[in-house]
Amino acid sequence: MQRSEPNFGVAASNSAKGHIRYLCLDHHIVAGHHHRRFHTMSQYVNVPKSELDQSQIRELEQYEISQGPLSVLQQSVRNHTQILIALRNNKKLLARVKAFDRHSNMVLENVKEMWTEVPKGKGKKPVNKDRFISKMFLRGDSVVLVLRNTA
Domain boundaries along the sequence of the chain: 81-148
CA distance 96 to 73: 9
Is 81 in contact with 72 (CB distance < 8 Å)?
no
Contacts of 90 (CB under 8 A, 6+ apart): 115, 116
| Average pLDDT, rounded, for the chain | 77
Number of H helices, E strands in the chain: 2, 8
Helix (H, G, I), strand (E, B) or coil at 142: helix
- The one-letter code for the residue type at 97 is V
CATH of 81-148, one of 3.50.50.60, 3.40.50.1400, 1.20.1250.20, 2.30.30.100: 2.30.30.100
Give the model confidence (pLDDT) of 90-109 as tens digits. Answer: 999 999 999 999 899 999 99
pTM, two decimals, is 0.64
pLDDT at 1 over 60: no
pLDDT of residue 107: 97
CA distance 62 to 70: 10
Half-sphere exposure of 92 (CA within 13 A, CB side): 15
Give the model confidence (pLDDT) of 30-63 as tens digits. Answer: 444 443 443 566 666 777 878 788 887 788 777 7
Half-sphere exposure of 85 (CA within 13 A, CB side): 30
pLDDT of residue 54: 83
| 3-state secondary structure labels for all residues of 35-89 | EEEEEEHHHHCCCCHHHCCHHHHHHHHHHHHHHCCCHHHHHHHHHCCEEEEEECC
pLDDT of residue 77: 93
